[in-house]
Structure 1
Amino acid sequence: MIAAILPPDVAAVSTFGDLSPTRDRGLFPAEAAAVAQAVARRRAEFTTVRLCARRAMAELGLPPAPLLSGKRGAINWPDGVTGSMTHCPGFRAAAIARTEAIASLGIDAEPNLPLPDGVLEVISLPRERAGLAELSRRRPDVHWDRLLFSAKESVFKTWYPLTRRELDFTEAELDFDPAGTFSARLLVPGPELAGRRHGAFSGRWTVGRGFVLTAIALPA
């Protein structure tokens, strides 16, 4: 599913269940140490998204490598590689690209269910909330509050590796096209790449099999 909303330069692997390490190389020692004290569910999702990532890396001809999290959960990708991983109950995915083609990636998956009470007010701006009713009328199959949350997660995942700075939910204003695209206008100075400052990100979204998925691939 996630590959359908990413450009051809990106390799993406997803699964609706946990992968068995017996079919792939398992965790690297440093990865295993990072979740040694975690509960079984956390170890399973941690392992599966890394197996997805290494399969995607293999599609690009890249060797396997340990994928360890740094500050704010951002993955320390090998040189020349950018990527993003996501997991929620029943779905795991990873997307990988070479930095010569894609500067940064952000993907996110969420259950297609309403957000818990009170969360929408925390993660959204008044203009965004005002548009949800019209979007719901046009596409009642989508829980637009959850899609907004997912898209803002993809915005942060794209932003953070380029800036190493925090980005609050209310520091990006999103607009959605019911046909499957969205734009995110940054309300703070955006990252500068090759002498050009990016004040907005463009992304795509989809819904299916009980999930909403969002993705941003920022060209190099």
Structure 2
Amino acid sequence: MPESVKSKRPAAGPQPLKTKAEKRAEAKVAKARARAARKRREVLTMVGAAVVVVALLAGLVLWIKSSSPTQPDPAASAAPEPAAAAPSAAAFPPLPEGADPALSTKPVVKAGTGKVDKLKTTTLVQGAGAAVESGQTIDVNYVGVTYADGKEFDSSWSRSESFSFAVGAGSVIQGWDQGLVGVKVGSRVQLDIPAELAYGEKPSGTQPAGVLRFVVDVLSAA
């Protein structure tokens, strides 16, 4: 190939010298790059450490839960509270103060003997209270039987409830209105009542006919 057409390359020569300002600028750039790289490494290190700490804490919590004994549910383990006791019923019978203990027991009333042609009041237990007067309201317990056979037809004891009425007001049979006047509170008396002072000679509904016998406890009078 002719020398005239050969490409000629310029000979490598020495590079031009950099000025101090350029050197300082390059040094600043290098330092900035180095600081940026160091900060990136620091951030990555901190992030990695945080991830490790979180993982350790989560593992610790799981380990504590799995290793600790199961605590019983307070609602399930608590013993049931006892049901509130129902208020006790009023004492029966309501005896007056100082009454004979016999009045706390239902009397046994038997059939009578002989003819009953008038009202008869017999004291079985003498009370210490005031005598009953006509017009007073009295509270009593009683058992009623037919005189001839002693068959019980009524009793306040069977209801566990005493009976109150006004003496002489006609709200009860005449045998009661008349036979309980003068009886002392706290007494137990037996009333033998002829038919004309009771429900008559003929039965009417649930009311017994004929002569009746009652044993009555006078509990109060006012």
TM-score past 0.5 threshold: no
TM-score under structure 1 normalisation? 0.23
Structure 1 or 2: more helix by fraction: 1
Structure 1 or 2: more strand by fraction: 1
TM-score under structure 2 normalisation? 0.23
